[in-house]
Amino acid sequence: MSDPGSAGGPGPAATAAAEGRARHLIAMRRPDDALAVLGPAIAAAPDQARLLGLAAHAHLVRADVRDDAGDPVGSRRDYELGADLARRAAAADPHDEWGHRLLSIALVGLRSPYDAAHAADRAVRLEPFSYLTHLQYARALAAVGSPEAHERAWAAGRRAAELAPQEPAVHLLMAQLAHPTSGSSPQGLAVAEQALRRTLELDPGNSSALNDLARIQLRRRRGVAAITGFVHALRVDPRNGAARHNLGVVLAGWLRPAHWTVLAAVWVALLGQGAQPAPTGPWVVRSLCALVVVAVVVVVGLRLRRAVPGQVGAVLRQLPVVSRWAAAWAWCLAVSVAGLVVSGLVPLEVGTLGVGVAFVAVHLGTVCSWVWAARSR
């Protein structure tokens, strides 16, 4: 083995400096910069377990980082590289739980839950009194999806909570186990809500907890609390894709009745252009259509105001954050309503032009809603 200070490898000071710098960059969620620091250090010391573990960690952070639109920056390749580096770290120091735990995280990302659970179980055996090992073991078991694995995940999560009752991540996991994406019983909702409120006591700015709590409020038909929760989660973290999607689902539920009413009214107004006697007949049809549309829009607006008193503007301003296509749909809907109102107020050719504008706008809005729905899947 070469001397640490020789040309055959970096000195201890250089390795420690690279490790410290990489840790700092990873904590700042700058994985690319961390990998740039670690690359030369690993090339010089390819069997240094801590450096390999940090490189694996950086790739896993990169796989989880999202851009301003909420889309993942990384890819499956980052999970693959993270898994490979974690295996090397575990082989370099098989008695350190970190490499096995990192491997488990990467395997969950690669949708290999059984292998992930095996790696996490190895980490638990090495460090049975670390909440982090039990936490990852619970996550890996939850990814398996079977009832038996879920029971074991719950037990692992409870053990993590016993070891670290002040850690928000532990309570967030317990909430997710009690209230999975597919839903749960009323008892499960109560347990999940209690765990989420505990998470927010410890970490008031936890965007994931805010989103999950809002989902529970939505399940309980508490519209005010749900919408407020989704908006709060996005204010805390505009890159929270789950909160953006959930708020979009709620807002789409408000927009859809108005959209279909406007679409039907536009077609009725167009078909009514041949009504007799001319020109008052078509104008009466347009006026009635405009009246119906205004009534529906007012009802939707009042319901939204009742759901989020004093925050209607704040909620609507979230539309571009939810999706540019959602915002475009709302704008098209507003233009089509304005066109119908003008057509109902003006009994001349300008009224016919208003129907034409409404026709184009509402159909453009239909396309925008379809694109938004497709991109949200």
Checking if the pLDDT of 21 tops 60, the result is yes
Q: What single DSSP character describes residue 166?
A: T
3-state SS, 175-232, equals HHHHCCCCCCCHHHHHHHHHHHHHHHHHCCCCHHHHHHHHHHHHHCCCHHHHHHHHHH
Q: Which two tokens stand for residue 16?
A: 């420690």
pTM of the model: 0.74
pLDDT at residue 344, as a whole number:
85
Checking if the pLDDT of 9 tops 60, the result is no
Residue 190 CB coordination number (10 Å)? 14
pLDDT at residue 239, as a whole number:
79
Cα–Cα distance for residue pair 315/367, rounded to 1 Å: 23
Q: Which two tokens stand for residue 252?
A: 């789409």
Q: Confidence band (pLDDT; 50, 70, 90) for 306?
A: confident
pLDDT at residue 255, as a whole number:
82
Q: Which two tokens stand for residue 43?
A: 């090339």
Cα 298–chain centre separation: 31
Give the best-scoring range by mean pLDDT among 126-140, 227-241, 282-296.
Answer: 126-140
CA-CA-CA-CA torsion sign (244, 250, 253, 254): negative
Question: Which residues, in sequence order, are CB contacts of 281 under 8 Å at separation 6+?
Answer: 272, 275
pLDDT at residue 71, as a whole number:
57
Considering only residues 155 and 296, tell me which one the structure prediction assigns the higher pLDDT: 155
Asked if residues 273 and 352 have their Cβ atoms less than 8 Å apart, the reply is: yes
pLDDT at residue 251, as a whole number:
79
Residue 307 CB coordination number (10 Å)? 19
Cα–Cα distance for residue pair 253/324, rounded to 1 Å: 17
Residue 264 CB coordination number (10 Å)? 14
Of 69-78, 94-103, 214-223, 288-297, the one with minimum mean pLDDT is 69-78
Cβ-count burial 23-54 (b if 16+ within 10 Å, e if not): bebbeeebbeebbebbeebbebbeebbbbbbb
Cα–Cα distance for residue pair 4/2, rounded to 1 Å: 6
Q: Confidence band (pLDDT; 50, 70, 90) for 138?
A: very high
Asked if residues 239 and 205 have their Cβ atoms less than 8 Å apart, the reply is: no
Residue 188 CB coordination number (10 Å)? 16
Checking if the pLDDT of 94 tops 60, the result is yes
Asked if residues 208 and 177 have their Cβ atoms less than 8 Å apart, the reply is: no
Checking if the pLDDT of 179 tops 80, the result is no
pLDDT at residue 78, as a whole number:
93
Q: What single DSSP character describes residue 72?
A: B
CA proximity to 293, closest of 356, 325, 335, 349: 335
Considering only residues 250 and 31, tell me which one the structure prediction assigns the higher pLDDT: 31
* All domains of the chain in start order, with CATH: 166-239 (1.25.40.10), 243-375 (no CATH)
* pLDDT tens, position by position, 310-368: 666 766 776 777 778 888 998 999 999 999 888 888 777 777 888 889 999 999 999 99
The average pLDDT across 128-142 equals 96
> Whole-number mean pLDDT of the chain?
86
Q: Confidence band (pLDDT; 50, 70, 90) for 80?
A: very high
Cα–Cα distance for residue pair 240/193, rounded to 1 Å: 20
Asked if residues 144 and 151 have their Cβ atoms less than 8 Å apart, the reply is: no
Asked if residues 294 and 334 have their Cβ atoms less than 8 Å apart, the reply is: no
State the greatest distance between any 2 C-alpha atoms of the chain, in Å, as a whole number: 102
